[in-house]
Structure 1
């Protein structure tokens, strides 16, 4: 291995460490939620905002963050995000009030958006050769997807052996070391500068729309019903803000999301699959943790260990076999098989009984989930970056992260609301507490299965099956119609 090649792979590991920190914080909190609720006196509906504040800031700012990477240089934005994320982690760990924690989690999400939005753009720049690029994306996809399962284990260890504050404090030394390594190893590419503009208005519109949309689902819809006046009003304002964002992007001189990024059917299809599929998976990790704790009586560490097969199988497939399978069968076919296995895993959780055993009822679902995620995430990331102009690499990277995080936030809100509502109905009809709780989880898991099914249909209709996917890179300084196949 040449010195240049070794440096590139070391740089990839730096990027993945930064991404792992970000993704860990999505799920590491799940295991600690009961402890946080008890210590800071969160209401049941307010507790979801410990997760939602992070996800919405993250998802709402990713597009702008990706564009900032194109403007100011991707390394600069990556490092700035890490610094902000690490500082917010200190505030989260030191929080002694529920409001302070939610605000700090929002700031954490903003830092995470800056860090993660530019990673795929950096990867496709550092690894232009197709096979190396596929392998690098496989490593990244493993970290981006398996980090959720690792977070459950890490959260269990820290919560049970120390206390919940350390699920945030642990980010500080890792963040500092990653910043130092990034400044040394990542290429310092120059951005195009502010002459191209930054669509702040568009960023405000889309962030406001997403925040209000999830608030509508989690609070008024859950507390007053979907047909209540407050629910309808908040939902209407959210949709109006979203419509305003679309109009802004169509008319702005330098839009946050130029419409040229949507010319590729493959890019659009991969992002739709991402948003729908993430809607099913994010909420499922959240509800799966609650099911194991409240119904099966698992301790935090036991919850993390229960999901360990997800991480192991996902890592094995993503890092060792995904590039070979994509080369042999094509990204679309591998993606569809992975999604079908994820759907089967969620269906298994949807029928798990009150008195479940791990080996019979939980482990098979965890194994299928790990295999499915290991198969589907690398091709999804690769397809989402296919055919993107080098000048838009940061934007495309931000877009694919946005669709995943927004889908996850909405999915979490919807599944949590469905689960709570169904459980309340069953209790009102005379069912016991545990039976009602499990019935609520089952209803939510079946919704998740339906979302994964929709992702499968989308992949079949919009993504082209080929013996091996052809990645197209638009040559710089040429007309958009000229593409160079690699």
Structure 2
């Protein structure tokens, strides 16, 4: 690598690490946040969903913004915005202030990962690009491992507020590298940004999520619920209709004419909605219901991450040989079975016998699912459009989590006690199994793939 390439790689790693780390530490801090700032389950839902609303909506437009204004400039703005929002969250005097700061953080975070990958693809070519992306993946994956541990230790020994200041050091290091790296920014003079579409998408999602989160408190008959719900549906419908006619759509609808693309995204909606629900419920219940400290609650799902790291590469190779359909069917159903094992959790709590078996089975299912799902979706679209296809799939996964967390109170019956925990486990299993069924019925293997009984190609 040249000196500039090394700088580019470290900038991409650190910028993405910030976004990945924040996603893994926040669930661990939720009980402590609601204990200090109040609001109970509703506050916990909004802390997660305020971030996902802006992240899910704006990640679609990130590519257009980077093309129009330059990747380095957009990355710098995203880092500064993320850092300021993190400091604001750490200093939040009220739950409402924190939730607004989380929405700002999500908006900034929407530009970090896409811009980071765009920097790599524009500065590396051929085998070097593959190695750079592999290094980026390995380094950012460590955030999934260290995030819950660091977050739990900070919550238990220091303060939940300091959890959100973990980002400041890597952000400062990345900004220094950007200033010294000598990276030439590239802009496309003919690029345009559909800001109106982004606004319609954000407001539509936000209004619908508001209705879903507040409905258990106010009831469906309240104008404060049904008016935002109807308005949100209308705004989001307007966003979709606009994408049919705007010159540079942030959601190209023609992608959904490809069978594996639209089927894979429906499967993503079920699977990642279930993963978000499970990740939220397990970490929060283990603290509030089972009485575990934040550190141990954060480490509860570590077996899933370890299995994903160990097995996903091998499963990806097998998926390329046999096709993704079998794996996308078996994987989510296996995760559904793992979720049902959480029904063994009782008043006499034991992590080793009641939670760990579920985490292992779900980890196996996740390892079987992730690489084939990604390859099925991106492999269905021509390579020159893989960036927008990836952004759409990423946005779908974020919106899936957004919706399941918004509906959490209705799922658990108002409170996350043992009965609510069991209800969430059942809904998680149903969503996972639905993802497997959708994959079985809709996904088609590429013509070059073989079935397990066929001779290898």
Q: TM-score range by the shorter chain?
A: 0.7 to 0.9
CA distance in 1, matches of 2:433, 2:332: 8
CA distance in 1, matches of 2:274, 2:121: 28
* Alignment counterpart, residue 362 of structure 1, candidates 355, 360, 382: 355
Aligned twin of 1:87: 84
The 8 Å contact of residues 415 and 447 in structure 1, kept in 2 or not, is answered as no
CA displacement 1:124-181 (0-9 Å, x = unmatched): 667776998599479739946x855643322111111211111111100012223444
- Shift of residue 105, structure 1, vs aligned partner: 0.9
Aligned twin of 2:195: 200
CA distance in 1, matches of 2:238, 2:276: 28
Q: Any idea what SS the aligned residue of 2:444 has?
A: coil
Q: Counterparts of 1:75-474 in structure 2 under 5 Å?
A: 75-119=72-116, 133=130, 136=133, 140=137, 143=140, 147=143, 150-181=146-177, 188=184, 190-193=186-189, 195-219=190-214, 221-226=215-220, 228-318=222-312, 320-386=313-379, 388=381, 392-421=385-414, 437-466=417-446
How many residues in Structure 1 have an aligned counterpart in Structure 2?
A: 450
Aligned twin of 2:453: none
CA distance in 1, matches of 2:429, 2:127: 33
Which region of structure 1 is more displaced relative to structure 2, 94-103 or 196-205? 94-103
CA distance in 2, matches of 1:216, 1:260: 30
The 8 Å contact of residues 34 and 43 in structure 2, kept in 1 or not, is answered as no
The 8 Å contact of residues 26 and 55 in structure 1, kept in 2 or not, is answered as no
| Unpaired segments ≥5 residues, structure 1 | 424-435, 471-486
TM-score w.r.t. length of structure 2: 0.87
The 8 Å contact of residues 137 and 378 in structure 1, kept in 2 or not, is answered as no
Aligned twin of 1:474: none
The 8 Å contact of residues 31 and 288 in structure 2, kept in 1 or not, is answered as no
- Shift of residue 460, structure 1, vs aligned partner: 2.2
- Shift of residue 95, structure 1, vs aligned partner: 2.0
- Shift of residue 83, structure 1, vs aligned partner: 2.5
The 8 Å contact of residues 197 and 239 in structure 2, kept in 1 or not, is answered as yes
CA distance 1:390–1:306, change in 2 (3 Å) = closer
CA distance in 2, matches of 1:223, 1:36: 20
Aligned twin of 1:69: 66
The 8 Å contact of residues 283 and 416 in structure 1, kept in 2 or not, is answered as no
CA distance in 2, matches of 1:142, 1:371: 22
Aligned twin of 2:455: none
Q: Any idea what SS the aligned residue of 1:196 has?
A: coil
Q: Counterparts of 1:9-24 in structure 2 under 5 Å?
A: 14-24=11-21
Aligned twin of 1:430: none
CA displacement 1:381-406 (0-9 Å, x = unmatched): 33333354566454333212211111
- Shift of residue 284, structure 1, vs aligned partner: 1.0
Q: Counterparts of 1:23-38 in structure 2 under 5 Å?
A: 23-38=20-35
CA displacement 1:274-314 (0-9 Å, x = unmatched): 22211111111111112211222101011122222122222
CA distance in 1, matches of 2:303, 2:420: 25
- Shift of residue 66, structure 1, vs aligned partner: 2.6
CA distance in 2, matches of 1:314, 1:255: 34
CA distance in 1, matches of 2:6, 2:368: 22
Q: Any idea what SS the aligned residue of 1:251 has?
A: coil
CA displacement 1:439-462 (0-9 Å, x = unmatched): 111112211111112211222233
| Unpaired segments ≥5 residues, structure 2 | 451-457
CA distance 1:451–1:39, change in 2 (3 Å) = same
The 8 Å contact of residues 79 and 112 in structure 2, kept in 1 or not, is answered as yes
CA displacement 1:8-46 (0-9 Å, x = unmatched): 798556534433321332341222222222322335423
Q: Any idea what SS the aligned residue of 2:439 has?
A: helix
**RMSD of aligned residue pairs (Cα, Å):** 3.2
CA distance 1:57–1:157, change in 2 (3 Å) = same
The 8 Å contact of residues 120 and 129 in structure 2, kept in 1 or not, is answered as no
The 8 Å contact of residues 41 and 409 in structure 2, kept in 1 or not, is answered as no
CA distance in 2, matches of 1:77, 1:171: 18
Which region of structure 1 is more displaced relative to structure 2, 246-255 or 102-111? 246-255
CA displacement 1:347-387 (0-9 Å, x = unmatched): 11244222231111111111222232233223333333335
